[in-house]
């Protein structure tokens, strides 16, 4: 895992631009604390910040190799290729030689041997750029499900790119601007942005499963992977057997590293299964890590978090005989690091859900360089209410938006008229439905079921993976996501809900597939989302900060939001304050308001309406 950056210009000479590419690369320092290198040629400058995980001595980047017929190809790469051993064997059988043991060299050699078709052979999480000096061509590639980020922006005669927006913003030709579409993404679709939309006016994000080719004639994005609709003829037992075999292979591949590997353990079925399978692979032992938030100001849970993680995580660790470390996060930690999620994302985020995860990952990084996570299991196995509840499924838009209020409700009337958030949401929803693959003649509930799962895989999951990447990379921790393996996604996309929720049990296939690995209390535990803070001290401090903001005459956020609408919500109707994601308290709504203002201030964002 690493941070990458680059600048290609087909019109000008970049040999005197080392300071620019170095500055861009330096912004990625938290992603790659182990080394920084840049490579420059007349028309291309590539940068790399390294987090050493595979082949500590030989995997330095940017990596350069000779192109048959003359010239050079150079790669800067973030991520992991889990099948690089197999690919290296295949390439050696074709006469290719290797000088390192790294997956980076395998990637570059695969490109030189197979051309861009090599992307179809990859299994992993990755975002990389290859500059082919002979062809004067740039290739940007992102993994199938979007685990690793990759942004780019056009310049006159060229393009800049990087792992995060901050890398692009360090280039003198890129300014922080947001237009109507960007504001609509932040305020109308804050839970799950449109794939490819970077919010910043000049930027794009390479869409999952896509590559971008660039040459002097321009850029062209091409899709190399998408989910496809296929009949599923296997019964429940055979489906369970196939899932178990896939999971064992996935975790085996993802447990390989030349550094310590741990797991994130909440006590839910997803993280517990990953931990149990990893414990079988990591013969040196596995350490697990959990987070516990401060005291609850309100009793009970919410529909997304019906039970506390702690007793289940403790039970899982004891049952598996592994060591577990718990990171405690209190109100003071959340307030002190309120901007951390913003600075990691380069955009307003999810408040304490970001901050507590950042603290958790700090704790993990003190003992491990790599951690395995249970993220994405709900999306592929059907663990959310919005995938199964009739009212959510019937909602005439993105199902997770049923019953929620969006921050767009706080817009000034004149700004709202320009952004038209309801129309924007409807347009994006129609576009998303147009991409759903279907079988001929498929209609009724099965058609809608397929739509809901496709929306979740292409939109909702991206938001969770984005958060996981930013918070982990902010502390130089590599988090791997076994359930986001594309083979599992391809298989389960076609499994009908009658099997996924057999007997009315959510994620019935997953529970049966790994029932022999865990105690019944965990196998049968209902879905409970990542914990949100219920600390009354934290909520009250956020409310105080929001009241202070309301008294700031020149606060930039009120060029967009209606001050009186915000005041009414904060003073007398706090529970109805809209936020980017569902939570038991309005803390996330308050933090989103505060972060939106801080984003406009810190990044000096120019609003273009």
With bands split at pLDDT 50, 70 and 90, how would you rate the model's confidence at 302?
Answer: low
For the segment 343-364, what is each residue's pLDDT rounded down to a tens digit?
Answer: 999 999 999 999 999 999 999 9
Note the CATH number of domain 2-223: 3.60.20.10
Exactly one of 2, 210, 368, 514 is catalytic; which is it? 2
Q: What pLDDT is stored for residue 297 in this prediction?
A: 46
Residue-averaged pLDDT of the chain? 95
Region 136-144: mean pLDDT is: 98
Tally of helices (H runs) and strands (E runs) in the chain: 25, 19
Reply yes or no on whether 514 is catalytic.
Answer: no
Q: What pLDDT is stored for residue 296 in this prediction?
A: 54
> Cβ(174)–Cβ(195) under 8 Å?
no
Region 78-103: mean pLDDT is: 95
The DSSP element (H or E) to which 291 belongs, if any, is: strand 287-293
Residue given tokens 């080392």 in the structure block: 18
Phi and psi at residue 89, in whole multiples of 5°? -65, -40
Q: What pLDDT is stored for residue 306 in this prediction?
A: 76
Fold of 236-523: Rossmann fold (3.40.50)
Q: What pLDDT is stored for residue 111 in this prediction?
A: 97
For the segment 446-505, what is each residue's pLDDT rounded down to a tens digit?
Answer: 999 999 999 999 999 999 999 999 999 999 999 999 999 999 999 999 999 999 999 999
Q: How many other CB atoms are found less than 10 A from the CB of residue 69? A: 6
pTM, full prediction: 0.96
The runs of H, that is alpha helices, within 79-152 are 84-93, 103-114
HEC sequence for 12-46? CCCCCCHHHHHHHHHCCCCCCCCEEEEEECCCEEE
Domain extent listing, the chain: 2-223, 236-523
The DSSP element (H or E) to which 510 belongs, if any, is: helix 508-513
For the segment 403-439, what is each residue's pLDDT rounded down to a tens digit?
Answer: 889 999 999 999 999 999 999 999 999 999 999 999 9
> Cβ(180)–Cβ(142) under 8 Å?
no
């Amino acid at each position: 895992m690493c941070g990458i950056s680059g600048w290609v210009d087909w019109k000008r000479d970049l040999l005197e631009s080392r300071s620019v590419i170095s500055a861009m690369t330096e912004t990625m320092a938290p992603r790659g604390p182990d080394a920084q290198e840049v490579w420059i040629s007349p028309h291309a400058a590539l940068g790399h910040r390294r987090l050493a995980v595979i082949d500590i001595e030989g995997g330095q980047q940017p990596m350069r190799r000779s192109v048959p017929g003359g010239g050079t190809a150079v790669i800067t790469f973030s991520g992991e290729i889990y099948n690089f051993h197999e690919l290296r064997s295949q390439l050696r059988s074709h006469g290719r030689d290797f000088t390192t043991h790294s997956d980076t060299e395998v990637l570059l050699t695969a490109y030189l041997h197979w051309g861009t078709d090599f992307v179809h052979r990859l299994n992993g999480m990755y975002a990389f750029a290859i500059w082919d000096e002979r062809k004067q061509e740039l290739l940007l590639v992102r993994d199938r499900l979007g685990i690793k980020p990759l942004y780019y922006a056009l310049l006159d005669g060229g393009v800049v790119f990087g792992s995060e927006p901050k890398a692009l913003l360090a280039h003198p030709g890129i300014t922080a601007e947001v237009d109507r579409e960007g504001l609509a993404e932040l305020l109308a679709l804050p839970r799950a942005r449109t794939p490819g939309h970077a919010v910043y006016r000049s930027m794009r994000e390479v869409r999952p499963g896509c590559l971008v080719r660039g040459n002097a004639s321009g850029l062209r994005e091409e899709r190399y992977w998408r989910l496809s609709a296929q009949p599923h003829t296997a019964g429940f037992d055979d489906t369970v057997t196939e899932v178990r075999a896939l999971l064992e292979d996935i975790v085996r591949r993802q447990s390989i590293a030349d550094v310590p590997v741990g797991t994130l353990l909440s006590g839910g079925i997803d993280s517990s299964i990953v931990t149990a399978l990893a414990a079988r692979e990591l013969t040196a032992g596995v350490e697990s890590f959990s987070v516990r938030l401060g005291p609850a100001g309100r009793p009970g849970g919410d529909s997304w978090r019906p039970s506390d993680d702690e007793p289940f995580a403790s039970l899982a660790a004891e049952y598996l005989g592994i060591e577990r470390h718990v990171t405690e996060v209190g109100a003071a930690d959340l307030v002190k690091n309120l901007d951390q999620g913003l600075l990691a994302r380069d955009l307003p985020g999810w408040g304490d859900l970001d901050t507590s995860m950042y603290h958790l990952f700090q704790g993990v990084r003190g003992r491990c360089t790599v951690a395995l996570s249970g993220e994405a299991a709900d999306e592929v196995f059907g663990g959310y209410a919005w995938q199964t509840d009739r009212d959510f499924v019937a909602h005439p838009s993105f199902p997770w938006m049923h019953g929620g209020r969006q921050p767009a409700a706080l817009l000034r009337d004149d700004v709202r008229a320009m952004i038209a958030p309801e129309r924007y949401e409807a347009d994006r929803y129609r576009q998303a439905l147009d991409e759903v693959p279907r079988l001929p003649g498929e209609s009724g509930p099965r058609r809608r079921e397929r739509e809901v799962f496709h929306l979740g895989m292409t939109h909702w999951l991206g938001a969770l993976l984005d958060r996981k990447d930013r918070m982990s990379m902010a502390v130089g921790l590599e988090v791997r996501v076994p359930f986001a393996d594309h083979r599992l996604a391809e298989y389960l996309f076609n499994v009908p809900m009658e099997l996924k929720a057999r007997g009315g049990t959510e994620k019935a296939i997953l529970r049966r597939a790994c029932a022999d690995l865990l105690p019944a209390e965990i196998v049968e535990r209902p879905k409970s989302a990542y914990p949100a803070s219920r600390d009354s001290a934290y909520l009250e401090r956020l409310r105080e900060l929001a009241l202070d903001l309301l008294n700031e005459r020149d606060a930039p956020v009120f060029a967009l939001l209606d001050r009186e609408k915000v005041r009414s919500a904060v003073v007398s109707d706090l529970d109805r304050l809209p936020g980017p994601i569902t939570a038991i308290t309005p803390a996330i709504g308050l933090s989103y308001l505060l972060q939106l203002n801080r984003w406009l201030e810190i990044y000096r964002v120019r609003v273009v309406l």
